[in-house]
Amino acid sequence: MKITRIAAYQIDLPLHEGSYKWSGGKSVDVFDSTVIRIETDEGVVGHGEVCPLGPFYLPAYAAGVRAGIAELGPLLLGKDPIQIGKLNNFMDKAMKGHSYVKSGIDMASWDILGQVAGLPVCELLGGRYGDDFVLYRAISQQSPAEMAKNVEGYRNEGYRRFQLKVGGNPDEDIERIKAVSRVLEPGDKLIADANTGWLMHEAARVVRAVKDIDVYIEQPCESYDECLTIRRKTDHPFVMDEHINGMAVLLKAHADRAADVVNIKISKFGGLTRARQARDLCVSLGIAMTIEDSWGGDIVTAAIAHLAHSTPTENLFTSTDFNSYVTVSNADGAPQRKNGRMAASTEAGLGVRPRFDLLGDPKVDTR
Ligand code: MG
């Protein structure tokens, strides 16, 4: 099989809540997402999606996805999308870094492989565990009272895991964690995600002030070493996210006992192939994971679901349903949250059909 066309479409994804706010005053009102389409000489077509969390979260930006695909696309014509290991190897040699550019191409290749095999991608990623898997809800940064109210609202929709966006003023963040902890019920799990937003003295104060609260502390500071220092000051369960982007740092984190949970974001690793490699390493090492991406619509949500659903239940701390945060659906067939849980599609491939009526003309079209 040979790739005959790679196209990239742009679509805006506004948020039901109007905006999403996190550490350091960062916020996004409308996500800029890219849908990738790969066509082949045998008529099989696959799709992927990449959606950075604005240009200031990770070293990734939305127009960069399209620029990178314009650069890489011509080199991939004639390559076999089913030989995904070789395809990734080729992409890494053709373009150094820029894992987020490669993510949608890799995702679309898994979609093609699944269709050719007649199997859902989760079966190819190792097999489905249970009927469904657990989701978290990210609670946008607001006043302590508003965040507590939102947690109650989302619990009524079925969520039991809440990731608070902190990393702002530490005194306010302490109040945010306390206010939300008061409305939790047995079985709920609370994560305070600072998204690198605290300096070390601020993080040290926060973890001490919430010492008696059952809360996970996620990515308090910018660097790995700063996070490790805070990790060693606290007995809270500890999550690392932003700088977990490859096997070397995962092995280092394991050797340092730096985290109890790590976040595997698909585009941070460069696609399902590398994210799956990281997932399997974490399973072997006994590390729990949040399986997700930086952001996305229906296609990213479908890809997340296939990776999450094929992760052993005991290792899956939580996952996410980004398609429920946004007002626009960019594909039919994507999984939908039910009572705070979700299941991967049982259709072959990713199980999604992009809404080309909304996507318009491609921004990049290589054939
Ligand atoms: Mg995080």
The pLDDT of residue 338 is 97
Q: Taking the CB of residue 93, how many other CB atoms lie within 10 A of it?
A: 9
Q: Is-catalytic flag, 265?
A: yes
Confidence band (pLDDT; 50, 70, 90) for 231?
very high
Q: Taking the CB of residue 70, how many other CB atoms lie within 10 A of it?
A: 16
The pLDDT of residue 252 is 98
What is the whole-number distance in angstroms between the Cα of residue 367 and the centre of ligand 1?
A: 37
Confidence band (pLDDT; 50, 70, 90) for 132?
very high
What is the whole-number distance in angstroms between the Cα of residue 333 and the centre of ligand 1?
A: 27
Residue position matching structure tokens 């969520």: 159
3-state secondary structure of 82: coil
What is the whole-number distance in angstroms between the Cα of residue 80 and the centre of ligand 1?
A: 35
- Residues 237-253 have pLDDT tens digits of 999 999 999 999 999 99
The pLDDT of residue 363 is 98
Percent above pLDDT 90 for the chain? 100
The pLDDT of residue 122 is 98
What is the whole-number distance in angstroms between the Cα of residue 191 and the centre of ligand 1?
A: 9
- Residues 35-59 have pLDDT tens digits of 999 999 999 999 999 999 999 999 9
What is the whole-number distance in angstroms between the Cα of residue 135 and the centre of ligand 1?
A: 14
Confidence band (pLDDT; 50, 70, 90) for 233?
very high
What is the whole-number distance in angstroms between the Cα of residue 257 and the centre of ligand 1?
A: 18
- Residues 7-40 have pLDDT tens digits of 999 999 999 999 999 999 999 999 999 999 999 9
Q: Pairing mode, if any, of strands 316-319 and 288-292?
A: parallel
Confidence band (pLDDT; 50, 70, 90) for 340?
very high
The pLDDT of residue 140 is 97
The pLDDT of residue 81 is 98
| Active-site pick, 79, 102, 265, 268 | 265
Confidence band (pLDDT; 50, 70, 90) for 126?
very high
What is the whole-number distance in angstroms between the Cα of residue 69 and the centre of ligand 1?
A: 26
Confidence band (pLDDT; 50, 70, 90) for 177?
very high
| Active-site pick, 79, 165, 268, 363 | 165
What is the whole-number distance in angstroms between the Cα of residue 195 and the centre of ligand 1?
A: 6
Q: Which domains does the chain have, with CATH numbers?
A: 3-120+354-366 (3.30.390.10), 123-351 (3.20.20.120)
The pLDDT of residue 331 is 98
The pLDDT of residue 44 is 98
* 250-280: burial string, b at 16+ Cβ within 10 Å, e else: beebbeeebbbbbbbbbbbbbbbbbbbbbbe
Supply the pTM of this predicted model: 0.98
What is the whole-number distance in angstroms between the Cα of residue 244 and the centre of ligand 1?
A: 10
Surrounding ion ligand 1 within 5 Å at CB are 193, 241
The pLDDT of residue 167 is 97
Q: What is the mean pLDDT of residues 160-176?
A: 98
Q: What is the mean pLDDT of residues 259-281?
A: 98
Confidence band (pLDDT; 50, 70, 90) for 339?
very high
Tell me the CA end-to-end span of the chain in Å, nearest whole number.
15
The pLDDT of residue 208 is 98
What is the whole-number distance in angstroms between the Cα of residue 241 and the centre of ligand 1?
A: 5
The pLDDT of residue 71 is 98
What is the whole-number distance in angstroms between the Cα of residue 6 and the centre of ligand 1?
A: 31
Residue partners of 30: CB distance under 8 A and separation at least 6: 12, 13, 14, 15
- DSSP codes, 296-307: -SHHHHHHHHHH
Confidence band (pLDDT; 50, 70, 90) for 259?
very high
Confidence band (pLDDT; 50, 70, 90) for 258?
very high
What is the whole-number distance in angstroms between the Cα of residue 196 and the centre of ligand 1?
A: 9
Average pLDDT of the chain to the nearest whole number: 98
Q: Taking the CB of residue 152, how many other CB atoms lie within 10 A of it?
A: 14
